[in-house]
Structure 1
Amino acid sequence: MRADRALWIALGVLLLSVAAYLLRQSGPNGLPWLPRCMFHEITGLHCAGCGMTRAAYAALHGEIGTAFRYNPVGMILLPLAGMGVGLQLLGWVRGRPLPFRLDVGVKGGWGIAIALIAFWILRNIPSWPFTLLAPP
């Protein structure tokens, strides 16, 4: 049972690694299978995730400041979410939870949701300093 779980995790890590490699080599515009933001296409406004592909591309090249410029909230939440999911998956492979987990709970989940909605609204206000939140 644990071997099956570990195999699924290894397959997922391999797929994510290949995707990261392709993004690093081709750039955000060089991968035609990447979906475009439908919200931005329809409304012309930025969603909370707009700029994340370019941010990931910049981060993969070690340009952390540029990555934050594209999507500051995403560059904070994505590594934390990845670490939280990683810890949960490690516990799943072991068959019991790890003693340390990133459990935000219901209040934390609501706080993250409210922060994302606020970021979504603020980055679309067309005056300084809110324009700094929109991707270049």
Structure 2
Amino acid sequence: MKAAGRVTLLALVVGLGAAALVWALGRDPGLPSSCGWNRWTGLYCPGCGMTRALEALLKGDGWNAFRFNPLGMILMPLGFIGLAPSLWAWLRGQPPKRPLNMSTRQALGWVAVVVAFGVLRNLPWVPFCWLAPGGR
């Protein structure tokens, strides 16, 4: 992709991000979940609460963002840090860097953490119920 195309795509992404920010600032993060998995099964998936968490974070409410999805609020900055070198290389027209340099064992470990979080946040006992979106 040529430099002009990269700049255009970046401007589009920034514009969409700004539109999402305006939308989020006008919405109440406490609104009920729209997660299909939750509506279908009544259970919380590992990602349940992330939309509301991002809305709360955009409004500067870090505590509620963490309450809606604690694991997501921990992993999201790590993901951005991991992808930043690739984005920087792409903007300069270089081949992307390998964003997450981890072994198969490490990747399976992260998958196990996410799956365990998904199971634990559905248990009805303290302290596990605190992992549900908004803490039950």
Same-fold call, TM cutoff 0.5: yes
Q: Partner of 2:130 in structure 1?
A: 132
Unpaired segments ≥5 residues, structure 2: none
Correspondences of 1:51-130 after superposition (within 5 Å): 51-96=49-94, 102-107=99-104, 108-130=106-128
CA contact (8 A) 2:87 2:96 kept: no
Structure 1, unaligned runs of 5 or more: none
Q: Considering only aligned residues, what root-mean-square deviation do their CA atoms show, in Å? A: 2.4
Tell me how far apart the structure 2 counterparts of residues 112 and 48 of structure 1 sit (CA, whole Å): 12
Alignment match, 1:49: 47
What SS does structure 2 have at the residue aligned with 1:105? coil
Distance (Å, rounded) in 2 between the aligned partners of 1:83 and 1:17: 21
What's 1:39 paired with?
A: 37
* Number of equivalenced pairs: 131
* TM-score for the superposition, normalised by structure 1: 0.82
Q: Percent identity?
A: 40
What is the aligned partner in structure 1 of residue 15 from structure 2?
14
Report which stretch shifted further, 52-61 or 68-77. 52-61
